Chain A
Amino acid sequence: DIQMTQSPSSLSAAVGDRVTITCRASQTISKWLAWYQQRPGKAPKVLIYEASKLVSGVPSRFSGSGSGTEFTLTISSLQPDDFGTYYCQQYISRLYHFGQGTTVDIK
């Protein structure tokens, strides 16, 4: 199985801050990585697919980068609406494992 490890596990940042979340795969997954946002009590929402492609309707302050085993999700200017937990997920293998999540709260 391909394991996904995110860091940090949580962070607190102010509105307007640049936020970066890292996701590492236990073996190469090329570009087959997605990022999801989950607000408390809600279903996850996909933000990024193929490591760097922004889903239609997702604000442009979100961006993804990386390939192989190391990936990042960046929020260029954190907004109050961006609180929640962010998950990476590999989909190169049919065992679609998620990272453990990064909780973002607004200072």
Chain B
Amino acid sequence: HVQLMESGGGLVKPGGSLRLSCAASGFTFGDYYMNWIRQAPGKGLEWVSFITATGPTTYYTDSVKGRFTMSRDNAQNSLYLQMNSLTAEDTAVYYCARGNYCDSRGYLCAFDVWGEGTMVTVSS
């Protein structure tokens, strides 16, 4: 059964740090690009970051550049998001999602498998 499961969310003070994890199972994790997407309470979906299958290349939305770092460990079937200098605007449910239904080069992919999400609350 193909599955993603996030963990590591919680309550953190402004300026603090948190590391999210995403455990993959049921598929060959190292074959897929991966993403983090977040959703603030009552708001829409916001794509956060992307990492290639082997991990050297990452992209970030402007609001998290320089503060968030995405990484992966294919041997452990795990994805990570290190979040530093957190602000109230980072409060959201964070989802990891797999890239699939890609173009012939494997670069342009929709997101076909999502985790259930982990809640991050930034508040004093």
Contact = CB atoms under 8 A, between A and B. Distances in A.
B95 interface: yes
A34 B111 contact: yes
Interface in A32-87: 32, 34, 36, 38, 43-46, 49-50, 53, 55, 85, 87
Contact of A55 (B44, B112, B115): B112
Contacts of A44: 45, 95, 111, 114
A98 B44 contact: yes
Given A44-B114, A50-B101, A96 B47 contact: yes
Contacts of B54: none
Contacts of A38: 45
Interface of B: 35, 44-47, 50, 59, 61-62, 95, 101, 103, 108-112, 114-117
Contacts of A100: 44
14 contacts: A36-B45, A43-B115, A43-B116, A44-B95, A46-B101, A46-B112, A50-B110, A89-B110, A91-B108, A94-B59, A95-B59, A96-B50, A98-B45, A98-B47
